[in-house]
A = this chain, B = another copy of it.
């Protein structure tokens, strides 16, 4: 067991897989020499050399195109899109090419690739560098969508992503890079599509992702003091979705809250709410509530950003109010 930063866990997961498999290469802007703008790829150039760890021009379509072409011809590339907001400049390659090619070719083409990206807010980077866009990816059939909340999950899910024969978008939360956690020694490989119950409780189910997980846990601690016991589920992956974990939990608690960093409309919680409203309807003891960033672009001022992204206090207040109404 070693304590690792979440940012170093990213490099650790990649390192583990590159050491194991020569077909794994890493490409992206400033990932090699500089070790990544968020220092998530530090040391990899020295370890694996410039053939396998590659700096690119600022050309996200070229980067992801090269990633796709390499994956269809025998490699297992990892690409970095520095900020997830930049998916918008290369969305065609993701949503129209990478996501659809296996299906359109009836299985002739496999795309074992990973696209890692810095996602989410709380760093005061403003509307164009703070978005939570995991819902952009969840919408599109054909890509797997992963968003770890702990260093241990980051290593294990990165490994699982690299080993997956499907394209995986790995959403690293920028607000978690500095967080620390234990990571087991030796090879760590996790499983995609499995949620984790971070806290058990009988009164309500809270489903959260990435930065919202620690906040939901903190809210649960606050409410525990008031005698309310929340079950907190860390989704970890949106596609595949561990629907069963949610359904089972709601069957136990009778109430569902989602805590989403994305702006309200069509955040991932909407899908979960719709699944539960169909499949667990008779288990529900009250309305499903979604706690999200309101449907606005993110403001850059610290006080405003803190106001709009769900905080532990807001979560606790909203849940408390709802359970007592």
Contact = CB atoms under 8 A, between A and B. Distances in A.
Nearest to A268: B266
Q: Which of A99, A139, A299 has the most CB of B within 10 A?
A: A139
A288 B297 contact: no
Contact of A135 (B87, B99, B139): B139
Contacts of A88: 91-92, 94-96
Contacts of A265: 138-139, 141, 239, 271
Contact of A274 (B87, B104, B270, B296): B270
Contact of A273 (B136, B273, B295): B273
Contacts of A140: 263
Given A89-B92, A277-B277, A266 B104 contact: no
Interface string A55-84: 000000000000000000000000000000
A271 B264 CA distance: 9
Interface residues of A, number: 52
A281 B284 contact: yes
A289 B295 contact: no
A142 B297 contact: yes
A262 B138 CA distance: 13
Interface in A75-131: 85-89, 91-92, 94-96, 99-100, 103-104, 126-128
B297 A278 contact: no
A50 interface: no
Nearest to A271: B270
A286 interface: yes
Interface string A138-153: 1111100000000000
A211 to B, nearest CB: 19
A289 B278 contact: yes
A23 interface: no
A152 B290 CA distance: 36
A209 interface: no
Contacts of A263: 139-141
A274 B297 contact: no
A281 B262 CA distance: 24
A87 B95 CA distance: 10
21 contacts: A91-B91, A91-B92, A99-B297, A100-B128, A100-B297, A104-B126, A104-B128, A104-B297, A135-B266, A136-B139, A138-B266, A139-B262, A140-B263, A141-B295, A239-B265, A266-B266, A266-B270, A273-B274, A273-B277, A274-B290, A281-B284
Given A141-B265, A270-B273, A273-B273, 19 more contacts: A85-B96, A88-B92, A96-B128, A100-B297, A103-B127, A103-B299, A104-B128, A135-B139, A138-B266, A139-B139, A139-B263, A139-B265, A140-B263, A141-B295, A266-B270, A266-B271, A270-B271, A273-B278, A274-B277
